[in-house]
Amino acid sequence: MMRVEDVALLACPDCRGRLVWHGQNEDDRLTEGRLRCGGCGETWEVEEGMARLYREDRVRGTDRLMRHFYDGLPALHDPLTAVLTPLFQSVSESRMRDAYMRRLELSSLKPREDGQPVRVLEVGVGAGANLPRIRGSLPPGLAVEVWGVDLSTGMLAQCEKRLGSKRRGRGLEGTRLLLADAHALPFRDATFDRVFHVGGIGGYRQPAVALLEMSRVARPGTPLVVVDEQLDASLQPSLFQRAAFRALTFYTRDAKSPRALLPLNAEGVIEEQVSPFYYCLTFRVPSLEPAVTV
């Protein structure tokens, strides 16, 4: 649940104007009300502590399809991933997650010189399977806010349920969740010290726009990590593996890394396979200048 002071980090998804909170607070936490943009005047609802910073009429095509899919199995998603990953790919889920999490370089994070908290953003947080790994990789004693956004109310509800029993004593008190569209992230420029996304960008209607948005909200020079489906070119898959991969990527016939869609000012690009079915794409952007894609 967001706090009143967190509103200063938000930006209107329509015009990127500043938002102002109008509503009820409980222990400095947003509960019921709305966020109003000081620029365009648009309002965004907050219900039961969850901010809804997206436009429903812009959720269409594969975005809508995948949301229906995730809303239909929020409690089963993570258990199925744990079981099916070694079955289909001969690698454990834990090993795969460790392979991409190391690219975030969380252990190298340090307190910010401007006194602001260190902040990590997961775009497409789902049921929160990566959150304990984030906390476990941070330097001891470093205060960090972890933010998660998703378009699936079912997955975010599952994430809240998961966090409810694990926040205390595990450093998860600083976790903020909100409903948002990756194509129009509701944050001010250069807000986050780390930004990453796992397992959904291949189904986005405009992946280049989402990559640009992730770059915009990241601080200059920070690692951005994107992970999704791509069949390992060096693999000689069995018929079983081919069928499994096709079922996993039912939303497209061309599941691959979006390296060609990165902002033109992306640097330090690293593309690797972290499992037979998943790539990991790491890059950085050097400045706040608008990035252009082709």
Full pLDDT tens readout for the chain, 294 residues? 799 999 999 999 999 999 999 999 998 899 999 999 999 999 999 999 999 999 999 999 999 999 999 998 888 889 989 998 999 998 999 999 999 999 999 999 999 999 999 999 999 999 999 999 998 999 999 989 999 999 999 999 999 998 885 544 444 557 999 999 999 999 999 999 999 999 999 999 999 999 999 999 999 999 999 999 999 989 888 999 999 999 999 999 999 999 999 999 999 999 999 999 999 999 999 965 544 444
The whole model's pTM is what?
0.93
130, 122 contact by CB (below 8 A): yes
SS3 221: coil
| pLDDT reported for residue 225 | 98
Exposure b/e, 127-151, CB count within 10 A at least 16 = b: bbbbbeebbebbeeeeebbbbbbbb
Best CA proximity match to 50, nearest among 174, 178, 187 = 178
- β-partners of residue 20 are 36
Please choose, from the candidates 152, 206, 183, 197, the residue with its C-alpha nearest in 3D space to the C-alpha of residue 14. 183
SS3 32: strand
Distance of CA 51 to the CA centre of its chain: 16
Count CA atoms closer than 13 A to 201's CA, side-chain side. 31
Provide the token pair at 291: 């990035």
SS3 71: helix
